[in-house]
Structure 1
């Protein structure tokens, strides 16, 4: 496909993706992409997800896991379920749903939802860095009070610069997965509020953790940390990849008004190398586990979402190089 054909292919999408293609790749007038984004609440993925919300404000009756998920379910199911409240909110937020559509949800969750860990209140967070980071993102989106979780996340950055959700089990080494999720949470807070000296410093430290490792290498040996780091997958969920990281750094650089860091060069070229001759990127892995409905293609098929994210990152990177 030519570049024009690729864009036409991307535009033939659910409103959740189409408005982002219009805004970030096609550069459509604001009234055009705004009109498409408004359709997220009434059509396609967004409308389908909203239809699954419970009367008490939750999805699937649980905060992070469905109400019917237990040890027996974990053994029977191939992967983590992605249907509970946190994941459903993540999807809706990432699809651009206007938070006005969910008016009252933050209050309902404050009253009705408790984390599976020690039944802690929803907007108070729990002990997992990734879960707390997602809650910060969803909280600033819905207007909930999440200042306490922000402070918690800043305080739980590890000595090597990043985060690890397994800190509570004694881990003292940061995780790529936990670090990118934590960074996204802090960036959402900084964008929404301007941040604080502490949140900005924590974010800089976490970014440096990844940049020192070129986004995909071990600091000790310079070797790739594992095959998963270069395997492109959508939805991102909590899963790290060079594309997930590059997408974060693009967003952070635009907010901070900074140039791309040259230490990302190899990671960017890895993303570029995954482009097929026909101009698209393939789904390279799918996350197993219970879902409300399919949101992307099967492994090995051309993914509009991955193509969009990759094209957007490369356009940002290449434009900066030209300047």
Structure 2
């Protein structure tokens, strides 16, 4: 088996790009050259080829899981397609026009519905990637900020008084993506909100001991679901200062590493898919890259010299 970094760079062009962007810090020319290929080959091209003549993927914005417009836009964003890619920008703007409610949230269903904070967080994540200057995103972000619970978490359940990890991680990712693009006063409010949401996760030990065993399985794509790697990857991306409360989760992730230095895909969230990018039980480039990024940030002393 090749060394982990070499192995990552031998994968789909999207993974070559993500590895050089997120782990190797390659120069802009090399990154642009790779990124411009994603829409025309490999995984990116396959997702784009599934778009319907009416512009949607699947049947509508949120139907069905996981082949809908919503989850396909999430997939394409996470592959690193160019942010200027017109099919994606067009559908983000169309989604905002068709689905945004007066209070700023979204209803992606075909019927009257008050919205879902978890979905709103995911939409902000990819909408701020493809259309960062879109004014309607400020309304969406403010709607999310107002939905924070007293414990610092977020939840899709309008009647709940406490947060849940699924919604909280989706909102954190959305706010993290949008924060660099918004005006200063809103950015400061977002930082304060993020800090409380991170404290919610840390105070619960990243839900390491939760009854849902899927929290402790390596899954990709994440969809709307929380798991430990997703949390560690998000916190590392946000440059969270090292905290002793993270050590059990980092140890868990290190223990998942195979003897060949890679991490395997352990779980795939059930639902319809356009195609499978990786096989359950086999080494996963998506998981391995995110694991390496998280460990290099939180525990670089645990990596080999060629990985730091």
Same fold, TM-score > 0.5, yes or no? yes
Q: Is 2:55 aligned against 1:57?
A: yes
Which of these residues, 260, 271, 289, is aligned with residue 308 of structure 1?
A: 289
Report how far residue 111 of structure 1 moved.
5.1
CA distance in 2, matches of 1:240, 1:127: 20
Which of these residues, 40, 45, 67, is aligned with residue 83 of structure 1?
A: 67
CA distance in 1, matches of 2:285, 2:3: 13
CA distance in 2, matches of 1:321, 1:9: 19
CA distance in 2, matches of 1:119, 1:94: 30
CA distance in 2, matches of 1:27, 1:186: 23
Question: Partner residue of 1:245?
Answer: 231
Report how far residue 131 of structure 1 moved.
0.6
Report the 3-state secondary structure (helix = DSSP H, G, I; strand = E; otherwise coil) of the residue aligned with 1:278: coil
**Match runs of 1:1-323 below 5 Å:** 1=1, 5-66=3-64, 81-102=65-86, 103-110=89-96, 115-116=108-109, 118=111, 127-143=115-131, 144=134, 145-166=136-157, 168=158, 170-193=159-182, 195-217=186-208, 223-253=209-239, 259-298=241-280, 300-319=281-300
Unaligned residue ranges in structure 1 (runs of 5+): 67-80, 121-125, 218-222
Change (3 A) 1:302 1:147: same
TM-score by length of 1: 0.82
Change (3 A) 1:320 1:191: farther
Report the 3-state secondary structure (helix = DSSP H, G, I; strand = E; otherwise coil) of the residue aligned with 1:196: helix
The Cα RMSD (Å) is 2.3
Change (3 A) 1:228 1:107: closer
- 8 Å Cα contact 2:13-2:42 kept in structure 1: yes
CA distance in 1, matches of 2:190, 2:6: 40
Change (3 A) 1:245 1:84: same
Report the 3-state secondary structure (helix = DSSP H, G, I; strand = E; otherwise coil) of the residue aligned with 1:260: coil
Tell me which stretches of 4 or more aligned residues in structure 1 moved more than 6 Å: none
CA distance in 2, matches of 1:230, 1:23: 27
Question: Partner residue of 1:74?
Answer: none
- 8 Å Cα contact 2:202-2:245 kept in structure 1: yes
